[in-house]
Amino acid sequence: MGHVPTATVGALAAVLTGLYFVLPDGVHFTMSVFIVAAWFLTAICWLAQKSADYMHKYDSHNEIKKKLTENQVIQTSQISAEVLEQTKIQFSTDLEELKDRVKIKDNEIEKLKIEITNLKTLVEIESLRTELTHLKMLAAQENTKNRKKK
């Protein structure tokens, strides 16, 4: 923003101060209240701008923002069909093992099976791996609770 608010409120305060002498005596008290308020706001705006300048070490306020995509390096790696199939098989066996240990809703298991068959990217693999790890943790917690009850 720069000093635009300070200049605007300062101009308003100057105009009100000038009008004080032109307007009739009946409005002098009201005008003096508005004049004091306007000069107070001018001082506050000026102090706020000085504080912002200090905090940003006098950087320019009109810097051009760069897009994040220009600075990011995108890494891609190819996985072979064999590795993909091996991962699908591993996830399927993990899911079947969890199905026996945890009483998960059938629709959630079916959703995960569909996700396993549709795996194509490393991101999807990592996402599914995280979800399966979460389910394993839930299974371990459930087993711990069952042991404590016995």
**pLDDT tens by residue, 52-107:** 888 887 555 555 555 544 555 555 566 677 777 787 788 777 777 776 666 656 66
Task: Kindly state the tokens that stand for 150.
Answer: 């016995």
Angle at 146 between CA 145 and CA 149, to 5 degrees: 85
- Picking from 93, 94, 84, the residue whose alpha carbon sits closest to that of residue 118 is 84
In terms of DSSP H, where are the helices of 23-105? 28-55, 68-71, 81-101
pTM of the model: 0.39
Range in 4-13, 69-78, 105-114 with the lowest mean pLDDT: 69-78
User: So what's the pLDDT on residue 129?
Assistant: 78
